[in-house]
Amino acid sequence: MQYHGSCHCGAVEYQLEGQLDAVVSCNCSICSRKGYLLWFVPASALTFTKQGALSSYTFNSHKIKHQFCPVCGCAPFGLGADPQGNQTVAVNVRCLTDVDVSALQVHHYNGKDA
């Protein structure tokens, strides 16, 4: 299935291919503050349809590059690698259009103590 997303101001727009059935709710310091619900997909599933400038933020182990729009501050996804080293996108499903987040299965992850 194809999904469309963007930052709030529309400077960055993208589409993703995949099956969205479940998301991860992490309690680490950034995810809990931002209210992320994350869907992990291979980096190859992400295609930009409008690529404005994004800023990047890292913390702790600096393994995930949290991307955000410098205009509106919206944080649509992060870039990193899975445990096998494959490039991965951690998509904030709250930035996807036409997704009913209440219909998704939520897996809770204890990132605070990880």
Do 70 and 16 contact (CB within 8 A), yes or no?
no
Any residues with CB less than 8 A from the CB of 98 and at least 6 apart, and which?
A: 3, 4
Q: Does domain 2-109 correspond to CATH entry 2.40.30.10?
A: no
Report which residue type is found at 69. Answer: C
Q: Each residue of 28-68: pLDDT tens digit?
A: 999 999 999 999 999 999 999 999 999 999 988 888 999 99
Residue labelled with tokens 């299935």: 1
Q: Each residue of 80-102: pLDDT tens digit?
A: 999 999 999 999 999 999 999 99
H helix runs in 46-88, sequence order:
none
Any residues with CB less than 8 A from the CB of 2 and at least 6 apart, and which?
A: 15, 16, 17
- Band (pLDDT 50/70/90 cuts) for residue 114 is confident
For the question of whether the overall pTM of this predicted structure is more than 0.75, the answer is yes
Do 75 and 34 contact (CB within 8 A), yes or no?
yes
Average pLDDT, the chain: 95
Residue boundaries of the structural domains of the chain: 2-109
